[in-house]
Chain A
Amino acid sequence: MDLTKLLPTSHLQSDLMAMGLQDGLRLAVQPLVDAGIVSDGDRFVEDLIVRESQYTTAVGNAVAIPHARTHTASRLGLAVAIFPGGLDFPEAPDAQPVKVFFIIAIPAFAPVAHMPLLQHIAKFVRNPKKVEKLVESKSAAAAVKYLLSFKA
């Protein structure tokens, strides 16, 4: 899957710090708000938390893929946030802090539009070495380049 259009460099934030999960999600969704894909960041974060309560999107290997169908999204959106210090994620299967968040905004009117993207990301994050390399990227541009180079 080609992520070029979904993941411009501005959608990846590295070296983030947050006080907790909700604060971290707010920071992580900001590029989607800035790009006009999500109209209301706080509402989208609420939608992410509701979705999270149904079944966790933390997959282990310090990764979570929070996603939610939301009326605030005008189109499918992807943002990546890297917290090198990690954030506590209550339902993480390995109980380890999450360092990498792949945020997917799914427009409510297209509830299955994200499935290919989800599959692509899931394949990437199952490899701990790839995740480690992503976290250690020296810049957002380098991290995006690395993600775009991944062919499932």
Chain B
Amino acid sequence: MPKGPLTQLLKIQELELVLHESAIVHGSGAVDDKNLKRKIADLRKKVPASFLAHYDQVKRNGMGISREIGGRCRACQVVMPAGDLNNIRSGRIQAICPSCNIYIYLESFGQES
């Protein structure tokens, strides 16, 4: 499983959250969001279309990607089966939480490079 697209998706989600927060804090009409939107667009260009399609689809329900810490998906808090974690690490299956269906960034992927 290549972790590169997942690293980019984490960054995209963070900036999308900043956009959402800024709309709440300043009022949606008062936010000059061109810079943020451009950054998001630039990051999206680095992610394969298939990843973006799944991310955008599941994001409608809240989050598109989460981190796994201690074997647990931190979005749904469900412990992931060890077999699934091994299969994700070895690239046999996509890095998707079997419980909440969002992308999962495994703790073992380490810090982004």
Q: Are A118 and B25 in contact, CB atoms less than 8 angstroms apart?
A: yes
Q: Does A145 contact B (CB under 8 A)?
A: no
Residues of B near A51 (CB, < 8 A) are 18
Interface residue count on the A side (C-beta < 8 Å): 18
A69 on the B face (CB < 8 A): yes
Q: Report A-chain residues with C-beta under 8 Å of the C-beta of B41.
A: none
For the complex, is B63 an interface residue (Cβ under 8 Å from A)? yes
The answer to whether B43 has its CB under 8 Å from any CB of chain A is no
Contact check: which of A93, A112, A119 meets B17 at CB < 8 Å?
Answer: A112
Q: Give chain B's interface residue range (CB within 8 Å of chain A).
A: 20 to 34
* Chain B proximity of A104: nearest CB distance (Å): 10
Bound form: Cα–Cα A112–B19 in Å = 12
A-B pairs with beta carbons under 8 A, tally = 44
Across the interface, which residues of B come within 8 angstroms of A95, CB to CB?
none
Given that A54-B15, A115-B20 are known contacts, is A109 also in contact with B67, CB under 8 Å in the complex?
yes
Query: If the complex has contacts A54-B15, A112-B17, A118-B21, are A59 and B26 also in contact, measured as CB distance less than 8 A?
Result: yes
4 further A-B pairs in the complex, CB-CB below 8 A; given A93-B26, A111-B63, A115-B21 = A51-B18, A59-B25, A110-B74, A111-B17
Please list the residues of chain A having a beta carbon within 8 angstroms of any beta carbon in chain B: 51, 54-55, 57, 59, 65, 67, 69, 93, 108-112, 115, 118-119, 122
